[in-house]
A and B are shown apart, each in its own frame.
Chain A
Amino acid sequence: AQKVTQAQTEISVVEKEDVTLDCVYETRDTTYYLFWYKQPPSGELVFLIRRNSFDEQNEISGRYSWNFQKSTSSFNFTITASQVVDSAVYFCALRGAGNNRKLIWGLGTSLAVNP
Chain B
Amino acid sequence: DTGVSQDPRHKITKRGQNVTFRCDPISEHNRLYWYRQTLGQGPEFLTYFQNEAQLEKSRLLSDRFSAERPKGSFSTLEIQRTEQGDSAMYLCASSVGTGAPGTEAFFGQGTRLTVV
Residues of chain A having any CB pair with chain B under 8 Å? 4, 33, 35, 37, 42-47, 50, 52, 91, 93, 95-108
Contacts and interface: CB of A to CB of B under 8 A. Distances in A.
Given A99-B55, A108-B40, 13 more contacts: A4-B42, A33-B102, A42-B109, A43-B112, A46-B107, A47-B106, A95-B101, A97-B102, A101-B33, A102-B45, A102-B58, A105-B43, A108-B41
Contacts of B41: 107-108
A91 B33 CA distance: 17
Given A42-B109, A43-B89, A102-B56, A52 B42 contact: no
A87 B36 CA distance: 22
Contacts, number: 67
Interface of B: 31, 33, 35, 40-45, 48, 55-56, 58, 89, 91, 93, 101-110, 112
Given A44-B108, A44-B109, A45-B107, A50 B43 contact: no
Contacts of A44: 107-110
A96 B41 CA distance: 21
Contacts of B105: 47, 103
Nearest to A52: B102
Nearest to B35: A103
Contacts of A50: 102-104
Given A33-B101, A97-B101, A43 B48 contact: no
Contacts of B104: 35, 47, 50
A43 B101 contact: no
Given A105-B42, A108-B42, A98 B109 contact: no
A101 B31 CA distance: 9
A98 B102 CA distance: 10
